[in-house]
Structures are given as structure tokens and as C-alpha cells.
Structure 1
Amino acid sequence: MIIPADFPAWAALLTAVLMLTGAGLTLIGAVGLLRLRNFYARVHAPTLGTTLGVGCVLLASILYFSVLQSRPVVHEVLIAIFVTITTPVSLMLLVSAAMRRDWSEGDPSVPAPRE
């Protein structure tokens, strides 16, 4: 990232903190994907890491380009809306498909479907 000479220090610092926080949250989600034992626990960690991590990165992007262009830049809000909606929906669809598969295979570790 190239920072112009007239870019305020407070904005550069806040942008850097938000970027590092977003990267850290995404990393925690990726580590959770590797460390957790079963599928149902594994899908939860990356979903949270993705949603929160991308949110911090998008906030950093909004701040950086708004200060750089001296006007509000909110194109990233659309990205945030789409990520916030699609990530949990994909989690629910994956878990639903896995539960149906486990029910059809007779896996005793998965609770029986409600009638």
C-alpha cells in the first residue's frame, strides 16, 4: 500500500490496525478449520473468521479511500452486505446437506430429525 505524503498519521494508523485485526481474525478462522475435530465444528470457525475479518478489512478500505479522496467512499458497503448475507447462508446449506447425509447413513452421533 502506497501512502501519500499528505495522508494523516491517525488515518494510516487506524487503517493499519483494522487491516491487521481483519487478517488476524481470518487467520484464527483458518486455524479453527484445521484444529477442530468434526465437520460441524469446522464450518463454524471459518464462517466467523470470514465475516468479521472481511468486515475489518472493508472498514479499513472505506477509511483509507475516504480520507484519500476527501469524500465518503461507500462502495465497500455492498461487498460487506453480500458477505454478511452469503456466508451464513452457505454455512446453513452445508450443514443441512451434511446432516441429511449423516441421517441417511444412520450416523448415531448426529441427533435424529424432528418430526
Structure 2
Amino acid sequence: MTLELIGTIAVAICLFIGAIFTLVGAIGLLKFNDSLTRLHAPTKVGTMGVGALLLASMIHSYTFADGSMHELLIMAFLFVTAPISANFMAKVNLHRRTCETPPPPPRDRTWSTLDAPGGHEDLVDVIAAERHGEETAG
């Protein structure tokens, strides 16, 4: 087996895996009911699909040409930014109350930013009161 044949087989496998992951992500985006569950399909499965497609492009460029680092940079940027953008989209949905809000936290009314006190000074007072309660209890 030559290097070109191994490279071609590896490219075909990566393309197939990338296409399956991307297809599953697209189907999930269409089939899920609300926006938070729809968010999981393109950010998780779709990211892996695009990563496999970029890996196929990298293998092809190093097998049949001089090689390229562009795909590696695109993949790194994709894997870094996809979770961050998913987090921001989820926060927007929580703030707009377009989805079911999470259950209340056990002992804290200032969880995330859903039920924040009136201002920064109130937040400092709440934290100081909680610390004072822990000191007197312990």
C-alpha cells in the first residue's frame, strides 16, 4: 500500500464520519422542540462533523500537496468559540424566559443573574449576611 492510497482511505473515512455527524446535527436542529434543546445539536454534533471534514482536508493537503495549516487554525478556532457562543445563546434564552427556567438553587437567591438583587450594594450585603451566618453557625 502506498502513502497515497492510505491517505485516500483516511480522507474517505473522515469525510464519511464528518458527513454523518453534520447530518445528525442538522436533523437534531430541525426535530428538537425548544431553543435550548435545539442548541445542543449544532454545537456538539455539528462541531465534531465540521472538525472531521477539516481533518479530511488536512490529510488530503498533506498527502497530495505541500500541506496547509489553515485547517488546523480553523479547527482550533471552531472548538474554542462553539462552547462560548452556545453559553451566550443559552443565557439569552434564560433571560428572555423563552424556556423553562432552571429549578431554584438550594440556599442562594442570586444564582446566575436570574434573581439578582437591586444593585451591587445589595449583592454585597447579601454575601456579607451569608458569610456572617456561616461564621455564627460554625
Alignment equivalent of 1:52, drawn from 37, 48, 54? 48
Q: Which structure 2 segments of 5+ residues have no match?
A: 111-138
Aligned to 1:62: 58
Structure-1-length-normalised TM-score: 0.80
Q: Which structure 1 segments of 5+ residues have no match?
A: 1-5
The answer to whether structure 1 residue 9 and structure 2 residue 2 are counterparts is: no
Q: 1:87 is matched by which residue type in structure 2?
A: A
The answer to whether structure 1 residue 90 and structure 2 residue 90 are counterparts is: no
CA deviation vs aligned residue, 1:12-47 (integer Å, no higher than 9, x gap): 111011011101101101111111121111101111
Aligned length: 105
Q: Matched residues in 2 for 1:78 and 1:50: separation?
A: 18
Identity %: 33
Q: 2:6 is matched by which residue type in structure 1?
A: W
Which 4+ residue blocks in structure 1 deviate beyond 3 angstroms? Answer: none
Structure-2-length-normalised TM-score: 0.68
Asked if 1 retains the 8 angstrom alpha-carbon contact of 2:4 and 2:64, the reply is no
Q: Matched residues in 1 for 2:46 and 2:28: separation?
A: 12
SS of residue paired to 2:101:
coil
Q: Matched residues in 2 for 1:66 and 1:73: separation?
A: 7
Alignment equivalent of 2:33, drawn from 19, 37, 62? 37
Q: 1:24 is matched by which residue type in structure 2?
A: I
Aligned to 1:23: 19
Aligned to 2:73: 78
Aligned-pair distance for 1:74? 2.3
Aligned-pair distance for 1:51? 1.2
Q: Matched residues in 1 for 2:14 and 2:23: separation?
A: 14
RMSD value over aligned CA atoms?
A: 2.2
Q: Matched residues in 2 for 1:50 and 1:21: separation?
A: 11
Aligned-pair distance for 1:7? 7.2
CA deviation vs aligned residue, 1:53-108 (integer Å, no higher than 9, x gap): 11101111111010112x45322111001111121111111110110010xx8x7x
Aligned-pair distance for 1:49? 2.1
